[in-house]
Amino acid sequence: MKKTADTWSINEAKNIYGISRWGNGYFDIGDSGDIHVIPRHDQPNLKINLAEVVEDIASAGIQFPAVVRFHDILRSQVELLNTTFRQTIAEANYQGQYFGVFPVKVNQMREVIEEIVDAGSSFNYGLEAGSKPELIAALAYNTNKDSLTILNGYKDEEYLRLALLGLKIERNIIIVIEKFSELTTLIALSKELGIKPVIGIRVKMMVKGRGKWEHSSGERAKFGLSMTEILNAISLLKAEDLIDCVKLLHFHIGSQLTDIRAIKEAVQEASLIYCQLIKQAVPLEYVDVGGGLAVDYDGSQSTNDSSCNYNLAEYVADIVYGFGQNCQLAGVPQPHLVSESGRAITAHHSCVITKVIGEIRPGNTDYATEPAQGEHIIVTNIRALADELAAPNKGTNLQEIFNDVEQLKSQAMQAFNLGILSLDELAKVETLYWRILNHIETQLQQSDYIPEELNAISALLSSQYLANFSVFQSAADSWAIDQVLPVMPISRLNEKPTKLCSLVDITCDSDGKIDKFIGDDEVAAHLPLHSLNENQDYFISIFLTGAYQDVMGDMHNLFGRVNEVHIFSDDDDPKDFYIEEVVKGSSIENVLSTMQYTPAIMAQMVKKEIDKQIAAGNLKPREGVNLIDFYDNCLLSYTYLN
Ligand SMILES: *Cc1c(COP(=O)(O)O)cnc(C)c1O
């Protein structure tokens, strides 16, 4: 983050935060230094200033942290996926059609599902469910009769009955067999109810996915039938006269596939299996390529775990042309194509906005360090280094001073532990140590070249910014799987950021932090941020949280769900947007109730104790009433800091 001159431009801000690389065209920085959201690629003049969104949220009395959802981005992504498939299919003269489905598990929020179903209606875009609760939701919300409802996940008899209920209300339900025993249960049920199901078969693929989820395929995968099981399933279905029910071949080799080669290999393998099965008179009509379409969270266009080395157009082309060519070669009909992209549809549409409420700075430098009679030589020596730095001469070598001060500090610690150094002397050493590091850093900022080892100084001097949120609730994958999510301030981007920071949250957990950021060429431990100004709020946003992060959060420290604000764009509005809905986050009462507490009884318990104090004369009755009112009000309040 070194800059020789003090000039700063918006372009540099764009560069260090990588906003155009991960933003997919939806985010930019305006001349005012605020982040702009451009929710529709076909309306580049429709720009929403994120700082104005934050102002509106605050003036509506909604507290932060808050999830902000841009419904138009959700719609844009649904349209983009569907039109890309349609265009590629047309270009390739492919005979089948595209019937995408959105996997509900990626973001189950009702408003999200409603928006996706609505945006996808003209494309016959459907839903995918992987559990009974998701199926229940899909049955109610996937109302388009021409779209598919794909059922994955392990299924018990009740799940299968629900699926057959769906067929009765004319839903295009395809039951994907993940495990052989599901087939026998399904056959029995279909006989009992006299309903012919539509069956899909999930194949356990040999090809390995790439990235964090690569164990979703291969022989040891949790889901899917091996080739032997598939052949046995076919014999069984032929014997039961149900082979005409088998319509779909399914595979899913993992989420966030970082390398396009995994996709090419999977398409190759699956298309050969498809052609073979067609030749064995299995009347397949669809091939479902599952999820895996990755999001370039760090903007590096690489095979990093949080990135990918391909774009949507390449992904779609590999699928359409791959199946097209292999089917043509084998002389079999080209199947309809289904995909289950979740991450790529929802990641961009939401972000978590939180306020930085404090700074934890290493090293205090205001302790008096004047020489004292008979002080220890370590103290004298370290002071001499500080003096030299304050008035440097030709021979002053920063690297040497750094090495010496590091050594003196560790000697001081040892001496203190042996009882040789007093607490006062140790405090002086510490103070001088930090003063020296700060000095070295200032001087380095003026030089053109920084020796490798001195890079450590910025890290040593970096601050922790305390932000009002919980990583476990709002950015679970950052904690769980080291996912890099873009984080940046929403304003002041026309100002040079002068601090290197990591972020800590308000949970009492030392894991409650974000220290993986987008770096120059690799993941960086620190993020450049601005120094905090008194009387000016400093908001930062965690972006691309719309897939999984929104719904996987946990209750660590009983910080519950955060407030949610739904933003719709509107060209006629002076600010180009309006807040359509606010979904209140958890109150303290809510989170306690989910842990089996009864807030009303708790209030009584506390009141009893207060009454005792009043009876004993330790509290005035009026004070007691105020205290119990306060406790009651707190129960109703937001779990995060005010
Ligand atoms: C999780 C999952 C998906 C969604 O994957 P993304 O990588 O988010 O697109 C799709 N299909 C199946 C079977 C899944 O388990």
Measured by CA distance, the residue closest to atom 3 of ligand 1 is: 291
Its CATH class, for the domain covering 71-345, is alpha beta
The SS3 assignment for 177 reads strand
Residues 6+ apart with CB under 8 A from 106: 291, 342, 343, 345, 346, 547, 548, 551
Protein residue with least CA distance to atom 14, ligand 1:
291
In degrees, rounded to 5, the angle at the alpha carbon of residue 122 between the alpha carbons of residues 118 and 123 is: 105
The CA 113 to ligand 1 mean position distance, Å, reads 15
Give the DSSP H or E segment for 248: strand 246-250
Of 252, 287, 308, 315, the one to substitute when testing ligand 1's pocket (max ligand atoms within 8 A of C-beta) is 252
On whether the CB atoms of residues 251 and 206 are closer than 8 A, the answer is no
Q: Collapse the DSSP code of 493 into the 3-class scheme (helix H, G, I; strand E, B; otherwise coil) and give the result.
A: coil
**Distance between Cα 252 and ligand 1 center (Å):** 7
pLDDT at 6: 61
- The structure tokens listed for 568 are 């719709």
What SS3 state is found at 145?
coil
Place of tokens 């440097």: 392
Nearest-atom number in ligand 1 for the CA of 294 is 7
> What's the pLDDT tens digit per position in 135-175?
999 999 998 999 999 999 999 999 999 999 999 999 999 99
**CB-based pocket (< 6 A), ligand 1:** 103, 105-106, 130, 152, 252, 255-256, 290-293, 340-343
Does pLDDT of 283 surpass 60? yes
Q: What is the mean pLDDT of residues 281-302?
A: 97
Q: Where does the pLDDT of residue 4 fall: very low under 50, low under 70, confident under 90, or very high at 90 and above? A: very low
Concatenated DSSP letters of 528-583: EEPPPPTTS--EEEE---TTTHHHH---GGG--PPEEEEEEE-TTSTTSEEEEEEE
- What CATH class has 350-545? mainly alpha
Compute, in angstroms, the gap from residue 102 CA to the centroid of ligand 1.
9
Q: Is the pLDDT reported for residue 448 higher than 80?
A: no
Identify residue 249 by its one-letter amino acid code.
L
| Residue to probe by mutation, ligand 1, list 295, 305, 340, most atoms within 8 Å of CB | 340
CA nearest 283: which of 253, 245, 238, 320? 245
Whether residue 3 is predicted with pLDDT greater than 50 in this model: the reply is no
Torsion angle in degrees (nearest 10) through CA of 539, 543, 549, 551: 70
* Residue 224 CA to ligand 1 centre (angstroms): 14
2 pLDDT higher than 70:
no
**For the CA of 257, the nearest atom of ligand 1:** 7
Tens digit of pLDDT for each residue in 96-116? 999 999 999 999 999 999 999
Residue with CA at minimum distance from ligand 1 atom 2: 291
Give the number of the atom of ligand 1 that is nearest the alpha carbon of residue 250. Answer: 13
Read off the tokens for 554. 């946990």
State the Cα–Cα distance between residues 224 and 202, nearest whole angstrom. 5
Task: Give the per-residue pLDDT at 478.
Answer: 92
Residue 492 clears pLDDT 80, i.e. is over it: yes
Q: How far, in whole angstroms, is CA 209 from its chain's centroid? A: 20
pLDDT in tens, 219-272: 778 889 999 999 999 999 999 999 999 999 999 999 999 999 999 999 999 999
In this predicted structure, what is the pLDDT of residue 97?
Answer: 98
Please name the residue whose Cα sits nearest to atom 10 of ligand 1. Answer: 291
Statement: residue 40 has pLDDT above 50: yes
Catalytic sites, residue numbers: 508
Mean pLDDT, all residues of the chain: 94
* CA–centroid distance, residue 387 to ligand 1 (Å): 61
| pLDDT reading at 453 higher than 90 | no
- Burial class from Cβ neighbours inside 10 Å (0-12, 13-18, 19+) for residue 555 reads middle
Say how many Å lie between the CA of residue 84 and the centre of ligand 1. 19
CB–CB of 470/557 below 8 Å? yes
Residue of minimum CA distance from atom 5 in ligand 1: 291
Six-digit token pair at 288?
């479902």
- Rg from Cα positions in the chain: 30
The answer to whether the predicted template modeling score (pTM) of the entire model surpasses 0.85 is yes
